[in-house]
Structure 1
Amino acid sequence: MSSPEIASLSWGHMKVKGCSSSYKDCKVWPGGSQAWDWRETGTNHYPGVQPADLEEVLKKGITLLVIGRGMSEALQVPASTLDFVTHRGVEVRVLQTEKAVAEYNKLAVQGAKVGGVFHSTC
């Protein structure tokens, strides 16, 4: 099963190929995508992405995770969250969201087992 490409990205809006929904923030993995609802884990720009935000994507058999920190990189990614990912044997790349989407799409087209979580505003 391949990772779906991100079809479009603009401030507050993301589309994933093959999905009829659009997202503000989203999670993607081989074979699927869904909205990333920060309220589920109490995530805010600071302290940032929590391990619980990534749990579902990590369970999808990915070998690499791309995290998009937002258009202005306001979303923090604590070292403890990065450690959580790498201790599961998954490589992680943290980038500004436009760069993160480009990196994710490049890897998805190459057939990598890549997952991502993307913040599409600040």
Structure 2
Amino acid sequence: MSSPEIASLSWGHMKVKGCASSYKDCKVWPGGSRAWDWRETGTDHYPGVQPADLEEILKKGVDILVIGRGMSEALQVPSSTLDYVRQQGVNVKVFQTEKAVREYNTLAGQGAKVGGVFHSTC
């Protein structure tokens, strides 16, 4: 099962190839995607991305996880969260969201088992 390409990104709007919905923030993994609702885990710009935000994707068997911190990189990614991902045996890459989407799409196009979480504002 391949990771779906992110077809478009603009401020507050993301579109995943093969999905009728559009997202403000999204999670993607081999074979699927969904909205990333921060309220589910109490996430905010600070302290940032929590392990609970990533568990669903890590359970999908990804080898690489790409995190998009927002257009202005306002979303923090604590070192404890990065450590958690690495302890699961997954390589993690963190970028400004536009760069993160490019990296994710490159990896997905190469057939990598890649997942991601992307914040499309701030």
Structure 1 and Structure 2 fold alike (TM over 0.5): yes
Following superposition of structure 1 onto structure 2, how do residues 76-87 of structure 1 map, counting pairs within 5 Å?
76-87=76-87
Percent identity, please.
Answer: 85
Report how far residue 50 of structure 1 moved.
0.4
The TM-score, its normalising length taken from structure 2, stands at: 1.00
Specify the alignment match of 1:3 in structure 2.
Answer: 3
In the alignment, structure 2 segments of 5+ residues that lack a partner are: none
In the alignment, structure 1 segments of 5+ residues that lack a partner are: none
Q: Deviations over 1:71-101 (max 9, x none)?
A: 0000000000000000000000000000000
Secondary structure of the residue aligned to 1:121 is: coil
Report how far residue 60 of structure 1 moved.
0.4
Specify the alignment match of 1:110 in structure 2.
Answer: 110
Please, what is the CA RMSD of the aligned residues?
0.2
In the alignment, is residue 19 of structure 1 matched against residue 10 of structure 2?
A: no
Runs of 4+ in 1 over 3 A off after TM superposition: none
Report how far residue 4 of structure 1 moved.
0.2
In the alignment, is residue 70 of structure 1 matched against residue 85 of structure 2?
A: no
How many residues are aligned here? 122
Q: Distance in 1 between matches of 2:107 and 2:80?
A: 25
Give the letter aligned to residue 11 of structure 2. W
Q: Distance in 1 between matches of 2:28 and 2:41?
A: 17
The TM-score, its normalising length taken from structure 1, stands at: 1.00
